[in-house]
Amino acid sequence: MLEIRDVEVAYEDLQAIWGVSMEVAAGEIVVLIGPNGAGKTTLMRAIAGLQPPLRGRIVLDGAPIQSLAAHSIVERGVVLVPEGRRLFAGMSVYENLLLGAYTAKARAAQAKSLQRVQEVFPILAERRDQAAGTLSGGEQQMLAIGRALMSLPRLLLLDEPSLGLAPLVVRDIFEVLRQINRDGVTLLLAEQNARMALELAHRAYILEQGKVAGQGTGPEMLASDHVRRAYLGYVTAGEEASEK
């Protein structure tokens, strides 16, 4: 579905991504893990058309999209839930949701999509007329995801969906993501909560210093010594013995 080939991205003179290649198959949940500053957000922005790559190709369903404007990429079914949610705080929940139905196709399905979002997130129906900025952090993340679903995504990009949320809320959000995937939406997720992300993932990539430093299935990555040391806080038996 999505192929990224030798992509490099820079902000003026500062290069953030170096020759990254990866792929996402239709129906998958693919996770990006890595430290802060590794390039996860930059890669998400490049896919979404917000930060065009210097070099390389981003291909959706066999067609290159790296030169397209962001709204054209949304029209092709690729929708980003950005880090920090980026809601319109002074507008109501309902108004924020309607902004997600931007494309002609999404506008035509607006009523059905709104019903579906409110089934997935019943609290949004209860908070319909409330200003988005007055919602809790978890409710704001639900609204950000709901707004993206109003765009009828085939590929949903989520940048740090657990950021700043309580553990119980994170668990609920991840369960919703699992359900969204079961409903037929492919997910690409950049996430600091490596354990929960890898438990959710079909496959995962590690980004370190703007490069792919490893890849594998979710279970393979959870069992990896490097992942366990760097991202899960474990020390292997051999390392523990050598430190004594």
What is the predicted pLDDT for the residue at 234? 65
Instruction: Quick: pLDDT tens for 121-144.
Output: 999 999 999 999 999 988 999 999
- Give me 82's structure tokens: 């950005």
- Find tokens 């009828």 and name the residue: 152
pLDDT band at residue 85 using 50, 70 and 90 as cut-offs = confident
What is the predicted pLDDT for the residue at 162? 86
- Give me 111's structure tokens: 């009523």
What is the predicted pLDDT for the residue at 235? 55
Mean pLDDT across the stretch 20-38?
94
What is the predicted pLDDT for the residue at 36? 87
For the chain, domains (ranges, CATH) are 2-77+153-243 (3.40.50.300), 86-152 (no CATH)
* Span between the terminal Cα atoms of the chain, in Å: 49
pLDDT band at residue 244 using 50, 70 and 90 as cut-offs = very low
What is the predicted pLDDT for the residue at 236? 52
Which residue did the predictor score with more confidence, 193 or 202? Answer: 202
pLDDT at 67 over 80: yes
pLDDT at 237 over 80: no
pLDDT band at residue 233 using 50, 70 and 90 as cut-offs = confident
- Find tokens 């990429």 and name the residue: 73
